[in-house]
């Protein structure tokens, strides 16, 4: 079922629950420029084991688009607010890119809400600021169409793009449909984030998944996360940024192996 709920600051979030009632809850958080449907390749396998909770993050999909800029702290509190309103005490969590940044915040600031943490194709900081400022200015001036092709080229390797246009098409559509204000407000959150100092304080069992050919959050960023988070495991996939799409089978297998522990 898909529903809406209202957070304390009045922002409405679009959310959906799938899978058997009574199963452990798995919360999934989407990347910058997508919505909850980015997890479609994983859903058939995940709902066999979990009650899967997805949501469109603030500024994305069918959720509200309050004026920006946003911060990772705000986006992290949105996730906590979602659980609070739904009356869910503790979840397994997986987030990709921006969703993984939210996951880092949760691991450091609300670890009691997590039993497992999966950080996919993400980073603890994304300096320098200039490219983000340029992207924000371009999108505000020309709309999402100005960046879609370039983003898709960074999100998938060329061989995958050529061989699997059917897998690329829904992601491209998500990007094109993302509200300009929501996208740029979240760009600012990513631009301003530096969570490196908090990583050693994450007490939650953590899996890091990285793409060896990821130009957006290079594999060195995944190694940094795995090095700084106590006891974290690292899985490398032969993929670019959206490894859950490009290497869907291997990604899902890694996710299930860790989350079912």
Query: 29-42 pLDDT, tens per residue?
Result: 999 999 999 999 99
Q: Could you tell me the pLDDT band of residue 54, with boundaries at 50, 70 and 90?
A: very high
Q: What are phi and psi of 234, to 5 degrees?
A: -125, 130
In the structure encoding, which two tokens stand for residue 198, read together?
């908090």
In the structure encoding, which two tokens stand for residue 53, read together?
């909770």
Specify the pTM.
0.97
The share of the chain scoring above pLDDT 90, in percent, equals: 98
Rounded to the nearest angstrom, the gap between the alpha carbon of residue 254 and the centroid of all alpha carbons in its chain is 16
State residue 71's pLDDT score. 98
Is the separation of the CB atoms in 72 and 29 below 8 Å? no
Is the separation of the CB atoms in 234 and 223 below 8 Å? yes
Tens digit of pLDDT for each residue in 77-121?
999 999 999 999 999 999 999 999 999 999 999 999 999 999 999
Is the separation of the CB atoms in 180 and 149 below 8 Å? no
Average pLDDT over residues 203-228: 98
Q: Could you tell me the pLDDT band of residue 182, with boundaries at 50, 70 and 90?
A: very high
Average pLDDT over residues 217-236: 98
State residue 254's pLDDT score. 98
Residue 259 in this model has a pLDDT that exceeds 90? yes
State residue 2's pLDDT score. 73
For the chain, first and last CA: distance in Å?
A: 27
Average pLDDT over residues 52-64: 98
Domains of the chain plus CATH, in order, are 2-259 (3.40.50.1820)
Per the document, the length of the chain is: 261
Is the separation of the CB atoms in 97 and 121 below 8 Å? yes
Average pLDDT over residues 60-85: 98
Q: Which of 148, 152, 149 is CA-nearest to residue 178?
A: 148
Q: Could you tell me the pLDDT band of residue 1, with boundaries at 50, 70 and 90?
A: low
Is the separation of the CB atoms in 11 and 59 below 8 Å? no
Rounded to the nearest angstrom, the gap between the alpha carbon of residue 126 and the centroid of all alpha carbons in its chain is 15
DSSP 8-state code for residue 47: T
Q: What would the DSSP string read from start to end of 71-110?
A: -HHHHHHHHHHHHHHHT---EEEEEETHHHHHHHHHHHH-
Is the separation of the CB atoms in 154 and 215 below 8 Å? yes
Residue 261 in this model has a pLDDT that exceeds 80? no
Average pLDDT over residues 240-254: 98
CA distances to 154, 177, 254 from 194, in Å: 22, 28, 27
Average pLDDT over residues 221-250: 98
Give the chain's mean pLDDT. 97
């Amino acid at each position: 079922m898909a529903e809406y709920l209202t957070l304390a600051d009045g922002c409405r979030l679009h959310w959906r629950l799938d899978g058997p009632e009574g199963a452990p809850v798995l919360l999934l958080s989407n990347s910058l420029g997508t919505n909850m449907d980015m997890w479609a390749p994983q859903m058939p396998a995940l709902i066999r084991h979990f009650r899967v909770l997805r949501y469109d993050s603030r500024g994305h999909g069918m959720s509200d688009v309050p004026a920006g800029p946003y911060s990772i702290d705000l986006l992290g509190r949105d996730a906590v607010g979602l659980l609070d309103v739904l009356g869910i005490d503790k979840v397994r969590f997986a987030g990709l890119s921006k969703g993984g940044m939210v996951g880092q915040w949760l691991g450091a600031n609300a670890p009691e809400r997590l039993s497992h943490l999966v950080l996919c194709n993400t980073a603890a900081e994304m300096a320098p600021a200039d490219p983000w400022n340029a992207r924000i200015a371009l999108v505000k001036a020309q709309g999402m169409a100005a960046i879609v092709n370039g983003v898709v080229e960074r999100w998938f390797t060329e061989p995958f793009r050529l061989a699997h246009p059917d897998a690329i098409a829904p992601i491209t559509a998500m990007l094109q449909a993302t509200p300009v204000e929501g996208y740029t407000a979240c760009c600012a959150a990513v631009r301003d984030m530096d969570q490196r100092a908090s990583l050693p304080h994450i007490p939650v069992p953590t899996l890091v998944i990285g793409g060896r050919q990821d130009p957006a959050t290079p594999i060195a960023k995944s190694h940094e996360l795995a090095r700084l988070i106590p006891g974290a495991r690292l899985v490398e996939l032969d993929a670019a940024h959206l490894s859950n799409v490009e290497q869907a089978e291997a990604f899902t297998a890694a996710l299930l192996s860790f989350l079912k522990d």
